[in-house]
Amino acid sequence: MSNLESSISQAIIQVRGLKKSITNASHTVDILRGVDFDIPRGQFIAIMGPSGSGKSTLLGLLAGLDTPSSGSILLDGTEISGLAEDALAVLRGRKIGFVFQSYQLIPTLTALENVLLPHELSGGSNGMERAMSLLDSVGLPDRRDHYPIQLSGGEQQRVALARAFMVKPPILMADEPTGNLDSENGRHVLELLLALNRSEGTTLILVTHDEQLAKHASRVLRLKDGALDGDELRA
């Protein structure tokens, strides 16, 4: 089997002819113009490109948070483009952890309750030990009972990281996870993200403007004007 065939056979995400357009009364805006790639299991990919190149739109499509205008996305062998919302929500809950730039913590829940939430939504039980262990692993053992408003931005993002790993998703997606943090907190969150990724064995897909952050990726996809403008494998 060739390296290319091996890569495709092991792909956890396959994208073919992916397009996304938005039409209003006067004109159509093409955000993605036909994108093709495969992501092998366990790979760390950084998606880069200038503002407006379609990075966050692509990530949202891969996560099933948006619907493409045309093309296909296979997520661990399942075509997600035509799935009903209920089935898509179940698939997302099992397969994907997502980290947002703006944290997206629920303000009325404590740090521990926020981390537990995906486990409870999936119908699981006895997740308390894992939730506490994850908060310990991101350096917040003494913040379990604190609410988001009582946490700094860096601490909130660490809670969001712990929450994303709660159900042991095979894929973790992050949209500018250090974008709202200062350089010190951003570096710490990146180190935690990489450490958790290694320990959990997930596939990591990260949208970023930060070249220093992207240096840690094993592969960089570059978008320009809605098209794939580069695909670089790194040691």
- 70-106, pLDDT tens digit by residue? 999 999 999 998 888 899 988 988 899 999 888 899 9
Burial of 178 (0-12, 13-18, 19+ CB in 10 A): buried
Using the predicted structure, report yes or no on whether residue 126 has a pLDDT greater than 60.
yes
Question: pTM for the complete prediction?
Answer: 0.87
CATH fold of 41-66+83-233, please?
Rossmann fold (3.40.50)
**How much is the pLDDT for 135?**
94
Tokens describing residue 75 = 């997520």
Region at 17 (left for phi over 0; alpha for psi -120 to 50; beta for the rest): left
| Lowest pLDDT segment from 2-11, 39-48, 151-160, 195-204 | 2-11
- 106-125, pLDDT tens digit by residue? 999 999 999 999 888 877 77
Using the predicted structure, report yes or no on whether residue 5 has a pLDDT greater than 50.
no
Strands 219-224 and 28-40: unpaired
Tokens describing residue 147 = 């609410």
171: helix, strand or coil: strand
Phi, psi of 100 (to 5 degrees): -95, 155
- 185-219, pLDDT tens digit by residue? 888 888 888 887 788 888 999 999 888 888 999 99
Using the predicted structure, report yes or no on whether residue 170 has a pLDDT greater than 70.
yes
pLDDT band at 181 (very low <50, low <70, confident <90, very high): confident
**How much is the pLDDT for 1?**
39
**How much is the pLDDT for 34?**
95
Higher pLDDT, 79 or 4: 79
